[in-house]
Amino acid sequence: MKRAGFTLAELLIALTLTAFAMAIVAEGVRRSLDFQSRIDAARSEREIMQAGLAAFRSRVERLLPVTPPDSDAGAGEPTSANAEVDEVEAAQTSEGQSSSILFVGQPNQMRFIATDPGYPSTPGLYEYRISVTTMDDDADNPEPLNQLILSRRPMLDLETFGETRAGQEDWVLLTTRAMPELSYSENGSAWQGNWSSRENYPAFVQLDFDSENLPPLIVPLAHAAPVETEDGSTGTETTQ
């Protein structure tokens, strides 16, 4: 007679092989989901980075060469109670310059006057400040995070340029482990961390992250005509 069914040993072997196969399939699915999650996170981070850089570029391109009403008088008086602005104004006075563009450029911050077209805010002149700050260290992550912050307030009185007053709004444009640094140039090639001229503002502003994964963003200011750089190319904006 033929034997019907399976022995206990055969069933155990079949169950073991089935469990082993299911474990292999489950591990493959888990790795696939983890890989997709990393891709989505990288895509989201890149989109946030691009949005922040676009906001940076759009604000800088609206910069205006504004001077205080009394700057042509040559009195040499600082126009702001802000120490950083006053220091630049004092250097300008010592050089005997009579006009003073409302612009401050430093490696960790930039202040300037720009227009806002309106909706959703009120159209008019605004003082913008783009600054770099380092967040508090995290015990679980010793490498600090750096933020690029955009601040804005209505410019009702040009003599208050550089002051921190009520009505200022702040937005975080970027959060990155690379350290953002600002620099300025007249021709798109010779970059300087501190913009010293008070008669004019730079033709190019560069946002450099000192990272191989994040190339620098170079923005030509709206008033500047194309300038031939030292390598013979015309200075243009470098996008990410």
What confidence score (pLDDT) does residue 140 get? 61
Q: Is 142 part of any domain?
A: yes
Tell me the pLDDT band of 181, cut-offs 50, 70 and 90: very high
pLDDT(230) > 80: no
Q: Is 33 part of any domain?
A: no
- What would the two tokens of residue 227 be? 């300038």
pLDDT(111) > 90: yes
Kindly report the average pLDDT of the chain as a whole number: 77
Q: Are strands 109-116 and 124-134 parallel, antiparallel or unpaired?
A: antiparallel
pTM: 0.67
CA–CA dist 188, 229 (Å, integer): 6
What confidence score (pLDDT) does residue 4 get? 63
Q: Is 141 part of any domain?
A: yes
pLDDT (average), residues 54-76? 74
Q: Say which residues have a Cβ less than 8 Å from residue 209's Cβ, sequence separation at least 6.
A: 176, 178, 179, 180, 181, 215, 216
Other CB atoms within a 10 A radius of the CB of residue 203 amount to 18
- Using left for φ > 0, alpha for ψ between -120 and 50, and beta otherwise, residue 72 falls in alpha
What confidence score (pLDDT) does residue 105 get? 93
pLDDT (average), residues 30-44? 88
C-alpha Rg value of the chain to the nearest Å: 28
Q: What are phi and psi of 89, to 5 degrees?
A: -65, -35
pLDDT(77) > 60: no
Lowest mean pLDDT: which of 45-54, 139-148, 174-183? 139-148
> Which tops the pLDDT comparison, 120 or 126?
126
Q: Are strands 217-220 and 109-116 parallel, antiparallel or unpaired?
A: unpaired
Where in the sequence is the domain holding 215, given as residue range(s)? 43-220
Lowest mean pLDDT: which of 61-75, 125-139, 219-233? 219-233
Q: Is 199 part of any domain?
A: yes
Q: Is 164 part of any domain?
A: yes
CA–CA dist 224, 211 (Å, integer): 28
pLDDT(97) > 60: no
pLDDT(85) > 60: no
What confidence score (pLDDT) does residue 221 get? 87
pLDDT (average), residues 69-87? 46
pLDDT(157) > 90: no
Q: Is 235 part of any domain?
A: no
Q: Is 61 part of any domain?
A: yes
Q: Is 127 part of any domain?
A: yes
What confidence score (pLDDT) does residue 81 get? 41
Candidates 228, 231, 224; CA nearest to 63 is 224
Domain count, the chain: 1
Asked if residue 65 has a cis previous peptide bond (ω within 30° of 0), the answer is no
SS3 of residue 117 by DSSP: coil
pLDDT(113) > 80: yes
Residue 3, exposed/middle/buried by CB under 10 A (0-12, 13-18, 19+)? exposed
CA–CA dist 170, 149 (Å, integer): 7
What confidence score (pLDDT) does residue 3 get? 61
